[in-house]
Amino acid sequence: MRQDILAALRRQSPRRLPWTIHHELLPRGTLERRLRGQGLAIVDKSVHPYRQGSGQVSVEERRGWEGDHRLILRTWHTPLGDLASRLREGPDGSLWTERYPLAGAADFRLLEYIAEDAEYRPNDEAVAAAQLALGEDGLVLCRLMRSPLQRLLTEWLGLEGFSYALADAPRELDRLLGRLAACDQPALRIAAASPAEAVWSAENLTGDVVGPELFGRYLAPYYAEAAGRFRAAGKLYGAHFDGRLACLKQAIGAAALDFVEGFTPPPLGDLDIEKARAAWPDKAIWLNIPGNLFLADGREVVRRVRELLRQGKAAGACLLTLTEEFPEPARNLPLVAEAVEAEAALGAEAAEGAESRAGGA
């Protein structure tokens, strides 16, 4: 399964269609054993190819309660001052940010200090151990930090704070993004020298927030510099783009990425597979099954997954994945397995028929 995934990511022909699942989404136990026996591959995204430490910055975390909700309060202590965030834990264990660390441009220097104070070291033993443990049953997809722009949006400023900074303090924002990008380079150099076969960042990109102008100004140059390192080292480099991407299809097509992981077609996304393939001829598309598909009855789930597989195959998108939360795994994962097996059998019959006709001629 590992070799099939790598072949598909390299835009080669795998022996069989890779269908994969995020390591945290696969239930453990009897169902897991059966599904893996049916060809389901695990993608382990938990391993960083580097370790991070700090010299002068410390992080304090306190966990408390507000009614029935658990809160997580984080404080970054620096010689220049402190930053603090407040997160609320949801019923499913997910974390929701209620207060981002950066209140505005006046705090940017603190984040610059945190980035400049970071020290990175290799994590080769952890990468190799994960690869050995998983073996041929999937792929260890090593996790990188998000690009600076996506990091600000998801971790440090949020959409509202970023929007105000873009309007009111564009020079300070530009400086901050430049400094973060520069401070990432030691980590990317270590990642390029690591045993990782493929690396990836959880960009969570959507064109509703980041349009072509911001993509071209901040994301494309960052990806290009990182890709130069990884391609020179023979590694695959991709990103998790799971949002609405129609307005970005040309920009993504020109970006220096080997694969787009988590691509989500309509109705949750707004770009269909055929148009994505036309705009991204040199990229592998790692196709995510939209979570709303699983709200249908069982036969309809099988039909729609098979339709998705046919569309992906016709467009040359050779990988299928489950990378987002979805309802009722015990019901829905076997339905996906049924759809994958049915399409594989249909493909095998077509190949045998073609061979018979060729032999008869």
Indicate whether 16 belongs to any domain.
yes
**Confidence class for position 358, pLDDT limits 50, 70, 90:** low
CATH number (domain holding residue 322): 3.20.20
**Confidence class for position 227, pLDDT limits 50, 70, 90:** very high
Indicate whether 172 belongs to any domain.
no
**Number of structural domains, the chain?**
1
Q: Nearest 5°: phi and psi at 345?
A: -65, -40
259 vs 286: CA distance, rounded Å: 7
Partnered with residue 140 across adjacent β-strands are 44
Indicate whether 83 belongs to any domain.
no
124 vs 191: CA distance, rounded Å: 9
- Kindly report the pTM of this predicted structure: 0.92
Element (H, E) at 144: strand 138-144
Residue 25 near residue 322, CB atoms below 8 Å: yes
Indicate whether 212 belongs to any domain.
yes
Q: How far is CA 224 from CA 50, 94, 220, 239, 244, in A?
A: 20, 32, 6, 13, 22
pLDDT tens string 105-132: 999 999 999 999 999 999 999 999 999 9
Residue 136 near residue 3, CB atoms below 8 Å: yes
Residue 285 near residue 315, CB atoms below 8 Å: yes
84 vs 60: CA distance, rounded Å: 9
pLDDT tens string 271-330: 999 999 999 999 999 999 988 999 999 999 999 999 999 988 887 767 899 998 888 999
Give the 3-state DSSP-derived string for 164-217, with helices as H, strands as E and coil as C: HHHHHCHHHHHHHHHHHHHHHHHHHHHHHHCCCCEEEECCCCCCCCCCHHHHHH
**Confidence class for position 359, pLDDT limits 50, 70, 90:** low
Q: Is the pLDDT of residue 15 over 90?
A: no
The pairing of beta strand 40-44 with beta strand 50-54: unpaired
Sign of CA pseudo-dihedral 308, 313, 317, 318: positive
**For residue 137, what is the DSSP state?**
S
Indicate whether 325 belongs to any domain.
yes
Indicate whether 207 belongs to any domain.
yes
Paired tokens of 136: 């041929």
Q: How far is CA 309 from CA 136, 292, 318, in A?
A: 23, 16, 9
Q: Is the pLDDT of residue 352 over 70?
A: no
Paired tokens of 156: 């440090």
The pairing of beta strand 138-144 with beta strand 198-201: parallel
Domain span at residue 232 reads 2-49+123-144+195-360
The pairing of beta strand 50-54 with beta strand 95-99: unpaired
Indicate whether 59 belongs to any domain.
no
Element (H, E) at 319: strand 319-322
Indicate whether 305 belongs to any domain.
yes
140 vs 197: CA distance, rounded Å: 8
